[in-house]
Structures are given as C-alpha cells and as structure tokens.
Chain A
Amino acid sequence: MQFNSFVFIFAFLPGALAGYLLLRKTRFANAFMLAVSIYFYAQGALWYLAPLFFTALLDFFIGQKIEASTDRRYRRSLLVVSVVANLGLLSVFKYTTWLTVDMSRALAPFGIAMSPILIGLPPAISFYTFQSMSYTIDIYRGEFKPYRNIIDYMSFVCFFPHLVAGPIMRARDLLPQLAVRRPLPSAETVSNALLLILFGLFQKTVLADNFGLQVESIQRMMPGGGAELPAGMGLLFAYAFAFQIYCDFAAYTTIARGVARLFGVELMRNFLTPYFSTNPSEFWQRWHISLSTWLRDYLYIPLGGNQHGKLGTLRNLMLTMFLGGLWHGAGVFFIFWGLFHGLLLVIYRLVPIDAFLISRFGRTGRMLSTVLFFHLVCLGWIFFRATPEQFMPIMRSIAALPAVCLTALGAVLANWHGLAFVPALKSGIIQFLDVDRHFITHGWGFVLYAVPVWITDYVGYRAKAEFPDVLARLPWLARAVLVVVLIYGLQFFARREANEFIYFAF
C-alpha cells in the first residue's frame, strides 16, 4: 500500500488509528498494530510475509538464546547464524537474478546456455534484515536485553510506518516505545504530525514525481541507450535525479514520522538538508542517516574504524561504502556508486578541499565547497540511475555544454558595442536557444520544481532542522496559509500517474 494513495490516507490510516485508540489501554494494542502492519505489507503479495517472518522469528529466538547463554563461543556461533541467515536471505532475493542473468550473458559467447533464475524482490527486505540483525548484534554486545513478548517484538519489526523504506530503527530506540502503553498524543503533536504528512505528500507527489518525469523524459531521448543527448541534458538528468531521489526518500521518512507520531511513536530523522554539505563526511551525516549510522556502528567500527592507521582507515571507508552500494541494489553501477562515495571520503580525508576553500575564502568558500560537493554527489547519482548504455551519452552531453555556452558567449561579445549591451545579450540568448532548445525547455521545468526545494531546504539549513520542523514553529496563520498552498499544490501539480517510492525497490 502506498502512503500517497487515497486508500491509505482516508481509509487505512483512520481505520488503524481508530482501532489503536480503542485498544490502546488493553493488551491487544500491539497485536492490533501487528495485524494492521501485516495487512499493510501483504497488500503487494502474500508471499512477501514468508521472508519477513523468517527473519523476524529467527532473530527473536536467537536473541533469547544469546541472552540466556554465558558461553562466549556459543553466543558467537548464534550471532553468526543470525548474520549469515539474514545476509543469505537478502542475497538470495536481491542478487540471484542479477548474478544469474549476467552469468548467462557472459557464458553465451562460449556456447554455454544457462537459464537465469528470476526471483521477485520482496519490498523492504534490505530494511528489515538490517533492522533485525541490529537486534541480535546489540544483544550479543550486551547493549540491549531481548524482549520476551513476541507480539511486541514482531510489532517492532513490522511497524508499518517505517517497514517498507525505513528509517532503519534500532530495537533499543523503537521497541521500548512500542512495548509500553503510550499516552495519547497531544493536540499539538497531532497537528504537527498532520503537517509532516501533508508536507511529505507534497514532496513526493509534486516534487519527486515531477523530477522523476524529467528523468524519464531524458532517458526516453536515448531509446537504444546509444543515442546522443542534446548538450547539457546529461547535467539536467543528474540534477533532476538528485532532487527526485532526495524528495522521494525524504518524503517517505517525513510521512512515516508523521504517521508514527499519531500512534505516539517517535521515529528518528533520516535527512537533514544533505545537499548543503561541504564534504562527504558531512553528507553521510545528513543523508539516509539511519543507514549511514548503521553502517558506521555495525560495519565500519567493527572493521577497525580509524583505529588502525591512515591506510587502515581508508581501507575501512572503501569497504564500508562498497557494501553500502551493494545494499542499495543489484548491479555493477550500484557498486560503482558506493565505491565512488568511498573514494570521495578517502580524497577529502587526504585533501580536505572544503577546509581549504573555507579557510581561504570564508563564506564564499563555504558556498563554493557546497556547490562543488553537490556536483560530485550528482556525478554519483548518474551511476545510480543511468543504465550502463546511457552512461556515456550522459557524460558526453555534459561535456558538450561548455562549448554551447562559449558559442553563445561569442555571440554576445561579437555584438557588444559599448553600452548597447541589450541587443548583444539578446543575440547570445537567441544563439543559445537555437543551439539547445531542449536544454532551455527542460531547464525551465527543472527550475520550476527545484525552487521550492531550494527555498524549503535553505530555511531548514539555517534553522539546523528540516523544513517541516520550521513549519511547526510558524505563527498559526502563516501555517494555515502554507497548508492551503500545499493542498492546492497537490491538487494542481501532483503527478497523476501512480509512482512508487524509489526505495521500495531496495
């Protein structure tokens, strides 16, 4: 079930909320939450429940066994079983199709016929396996005591607001909230939760989906993959996808946080104006925070973190980001994307470009390093979104843009006569329009939707928060006007074709 559907907003959510409020003071509250979460998840297909239950139940019982045992070796072997089972399950569903398809292609020239194994990917498997694994790891480390009540535990794994696309909550943060009888959320909390949901819907359907339409339009210009893109379109592709994936994923978390608050549960923040980062370390503290902290706590630090010299640190960064890339998807380009970010982390550690720019040019330097790093992130998004066949046309299109700009500049300079600069500028613009109308048209479309993102994120950045947090602090009348603007924005500009959240596929 999609958050951005009438059924969810006007039927499922009110129904779930009404049932929860009725049963809140009884011991059936979590059983009810579990039931509605299962119903929510099983809307796609019933079989999705099988891997979910397998992971959750296995870790529930392993958690108990680890806690009950004092034998270090036994505890460790139980942990290994949990990790291997979780990663094994994840790998089977996520990578089998990719590996066997690629293998069958690779073997075909040698006359070896191999049928690829095509396995459907249950939504959210990457999220709940990581979440479930952190439960057993925390118990193993002695940082968390297992819960004996299976309903409470299952409602933690399956809690519907964050089940499908996170944030990846740790058991120690979420389970204690779910296992107790929660007070009714205050009127203010409900009002703010509704604001989060409304803003999230706007982010998803108006912003993310329209950026997505641009991305698809540009991809359609390369039907066979090899077709050339007009100059600059590759840059727009990267920009549009950067904003699409940000708005899409942030929207999901924003709605999830709003929905959870209605049930008296606080989910962690997953984004904090990431495109204002000046370096990769800062970026990963602002982007998909629940995943980056998971990778830090359960992978980077156990690998040795920064405790084994410079070279060891760099190796650990690369390895962590490689696995982070692999977590995102089955494909060579996802691995490249992860390695690219690993490389950025390494480069910025060796040569702190942002620190140099800031110390040299102050605020201008900060702005420059933000712009530079944003473009590096965009470069990474090309790996993430483009198919291998589309990659080179996109890069060539980006490389062709300066020449077009220079031609236009040449036209300006050729017609520049003293103070009569207006005709000169006009001729330059006409020249540019003539050469690259596609770029201008799609650029305008991009700017239309990028402006609200820039404004809201800048406001959030200045306030060291996300925009919905700032929204909640506004005077009530200003909030009312913004609510009206958001509702009319949804009505007039939301993309009509149903579009899944991107991270449903991870």
Chain B
Amino acid sequence: MSSSILPFRSWIAAVLILLVTESAVYSITHPNTYDRNNFLQFAFAHEETPQRAFIYDKIKAFADSHPTIVQSGDSSGFYGIEPSVVMRHLPPGVTYVNMSCCANLGYNGYYNILEFMLQHNPSIRYAVLHITPYTMPLRELWESDGAALWGTPDIKVFGDAVYQEYLGMWRIFHSPSLAYREQVTDLFYYQRNPFKDRPLMTNPDYLAFAQMFQRTLGWMPEDDVRNGVYAVECQVAMPNFFDIWTMRYKTYLQQILEAYAAMVRRYHAKLVVVFQPVACVVGTGAGTAEARAVIEQFKRDNPDVDIPFPLVSTWPAEMFSVPAHIRHEYTDRIGDRLGHAMAAIMARDGVAGPATASR
C-alpha cells in the first residue's frame, strides 16, 4: 500500500464499516424515507415542540398522497379547514390535503411545505396559502429561522428546518439508520423504562391530533380555552424592508406573495391565497388600508393567482375561540366558504377532475 494511503487506513476501514452497516440496514429493514431526518429532537427528557411533531407526522402521511389541492399556512387553516367539507363542493375525485400547522412554522415554512408537496406530487393543481390577517408577514416569519416569535423565547420559528430536512441538499447525509434515531435514543435514555418521560406523548393536543389527522386529511378540530373574542378595529402588521434589488422599500407581504406565486408557477400549479374571516372590523388605519392596497396591486400584477376573499371579512365574534381560530362548531361554514370558492375557481379554469397526467 502506498505510504500516503497508509495513514488513512483507519478512515477507509471506517467508511467500509459504515457502508456495509448502512447497506444492511437499508436492504433488511427498508426504513421509511420520511423517518430519515433530524426534524425532531429525541433529546433526553426534553419536550418536542408539538407543532414540529404535527408537521413531521403530516409529511410522513401525505408526502406521496397525490392530492389535487394542497393547503399550507398557519393554525387558522389547521383548525378551520376540514378537507371533507371542502371536497363536498369539488368535482368527484378531487382531493384536498390540509398541511397547515401553526404560526411558528412561519411564511418560510408554509412555503417549504408547499414546495415539498409540489415536488413530490405532480397531481397538485392548486396550492392554497391559508392565513389569518392576525399573522401577516413579519421579518422573523420569513427570514429569521430560530427567531423567537412575537418575542416569546419558547415559541421559535422553525420553517427553515422543513427545507433543511426535506428539501435541502444536505439530505444526502441522511443515512438509512437515521430512521431509527428514536428507537436508539430510547434504548439508551430509557432502557429499563424507569426514566421514560417523553412529555410529547402525554400532550393532549398531540394525542388528539395523532388519533385523527390521517382520517381527516390533516384537519384537527379546535379545542381552545374560551377567553372571549371581541370585535374591535382590525390591526394588520405591515412591516417593510429596503429591497436592494429594486432599491426601494417593500412590504414583507408583497415580497412573500411574489415569492409564493413564482414558486407555485415553477411547478405549473396555481396559487390561491385565502384569508380567514376575523372578528375585527375594517378601520381606517393600523395597516389594513396599506395591506389591501398591496393585495390589489399584487392581483393586478399576477392575474394567474386567485385571492377569492377580501383581506378582512368580519364574522360575529362568538364564532371564534381565539382571534385566529374559528370555533369547531363553525368548521362546516368556513369549509363551505372555501369549497364554493375552489369550485368556482376550478370551473373557471376548466378543471373537471383530478389530473391524470403528471406535470
């Protein structure tokens, strides 16, 4: 052996051991591709973020489900849109999957979920961004992964993790055995069970979700503590930034809508932006006028994007559990609203059923 290779014997041997082990794991156990990632923590006696677990399970369940319509966004859609209600209004065979989760996924995360679904499912014709005007685009929801959302250190934005673990190039290092991380860490951490303390497994939200999300195509009924929602004037956050490409100030809303439209277009699908109704009323200031102007301009510039509802549709306050969530008793009503809109859009586009050919 050459003298310059000799010092690397240990590395070569290590690589061979790894290759043999990983090949054996792959060929014997056929691990699920969507388990092979670092999305969840599996740390010792440490609570997983339930929202991360929702996304993990949803991706695993629906990554290759070949829907016609996919929805992503904040918790307004997660709790609000029951796919079976929407599908009642759509042509036979058209399927709708609800991949929405939560505000701490961030606009970056909603985007990554949509892109992931579009990449994996050429059947998708419509990508629905479902949001509430209460969580309009902010810097930390778009650019800054790991940022504390609304200044709360425990609520961290994790949308970039969706990219890293499901879309990014470093996935090539996700070896087959990575799928067994939960089992391996359990074995070391909780071997004889006395220390087993996986707090997520006792989280009521997660347990309820785990029991039903596959059956409901991603929807979960709202179960918020009722603190009362009051009809006041709407306040819509509308921060901006200096865009060095255009050398002018731009709102994050405009930036995000443009980015979503361009991405969905790349996959030859159609972007539909849906604003959930709110209990507040349109006022004269506090960002609503500016937001509405941005949306109108965006509609003019992007005629291929559908925004079927106005930014602010005021519904009675008693229909809401918290400002961003419709009470579960009114799920049908909000599902019907979207179902009608999607049916009209599909009719206008001449889509009579699910896509049969891949894009």
- The answer to whether residues A480 and B14 also contact, given A213-B44, A217-B46 and a CB cut-off of 8 A, is yes
Q: Is the CB of A495 within 8 A of B41?
A: yes
A281 at the interface (CB under 8 A from B): no
Q: Is A253 an interface residue (CB 8 A)?
A: no
Stretch from B172-180, B250-258, B305-313 forming part of the interface with A: B172-180
Contact with B along A202-240 (1 / 0, CB 8 A): 000000001001100100000000000000000000000
Cross-chain contact of B197 among A10, A188, A441, A476 (Cβ < 8 A): A441
A194 interfacial by beta-carbon distance below 8 Å = yes
Q: How many residues of A contact B (CB 8 A)?
A: 35
- B14: chain A residues at CB < 8 Å are 479-481, 483-484, 487
Known contacts A476-B10, A487-B18; can you find 10 more A-B pairs with CB under 8 A?
A6-B173, A10-B170, A191-B10, A192-B7, A445-B45, A448-B188, A477-B10, A484-B17, A487-B14, A495-B43
List the interface of chain B (C-beta within 8 A of A).
3-11, 13-14, 17-18, 21, 38-46, 146, 170, 173, 175, 177-178, 181, 184-185, 188-189, 195, 197
A28 at the interface (CB under 8 A from B): no
With beta carbons under 8 angstroms apart, the residue of B4, B146, B189 that contacts A187 is B4
From A479, A481, A495, A496, residue with most partner B Cβ within 10 Å = A496
Q: Is the CB of A480 within 8 A of B181?
A: no
One digit per residue, 1 when the CB lies within 8 angstroms of any chain B CB and 0 when it does not, for chain A 272-296 equals: 0000000000000000000000000
Partner of B13, one of A440, A444, A476, A488: A476
Instruction: Determine if A480 and B41 form an interchain contact, defined as CB atoms under 8 angstroms apart.
Output: no
How many Å lie between the Cα of A207 and that of B275 in the bound state?
Answer: 46
Q: Are A213 and B10 in contact (CB under 8 A)?
A: no
Say whether A190 contacts B7, CB under 8 Å: yes
| Closest partner residue, chain A, to B196 (CB atom) | A441
7 contacts between A and B (CB under 8 A): A190-B7, A191-B10, A210-B44, A442-B45, A444-B195, A445-B189, A483-B14
B7 / chain A contacts, CB cutoff of 8 Å: 186-188, 190-192
Q: Residue on B with the closest CB to A491?
A: B178
Kindly count the residue-residue contacts between A and B in the assembled complex, taking CB atoms under 8 Å apart. Answer: 85
Instruction: Kindly provide the distance from the CB of B174 to the nearest chain A CB, expressed in whole angstroms.
Output: 9
Shortest distance between the CB of A472 and any CB in chain B (Å): 10
> In the complex the two chains form, what is the Cα distance from A479 to B7 in whole Å?
11
Q: Rank and list the top 5 A-B pairs by shortest CB-CB distance, nearest first.
A: A480-B13, A479-B10, A483-B14, A188-B7, A191-B7
Q: Is the CB of A480 within 8 A of B10?
A: yes
CB-based nearest A residue for B2: A187
Asked, given contacts A6-B170, A491-B177, A492-B185, whether A480 binds B195 with beta carbons under 8 Å apart, the answer is no
Is A493 close to B, CB under 8 A? yes
| Cβ contacts under 8 Å, B3 to chain A | 187
User: How far, in Å, is A136 (CB) from chain B's closest CB?
Assistant: 39
A71 on the interface (CB 8 Å rule)? no
Given the complex, which residues of B lie within 8 Å of A448, measured CB to CB?
Answer: 44, 188-189
Are B40 and A496 neighbours in the complex by a CB distance under 8 Å? yes
A441/B43 in contact, CB under 8 A:
no
Pair B10/A441 contact, Cβ less than 8 Å = no
- The distance in angstroms between the C-alpha atoms of A6 and B173, with both chains bound, is 10
What's the minimum C-beta distance from B89 to chain A, rounded to whole angstroms? 41
Docked-complex contact B44 and A484, CB < 8 angstroms: no
Distance in angstroms between the alpha carbons of A187 and B13 in the assembled complex:
16
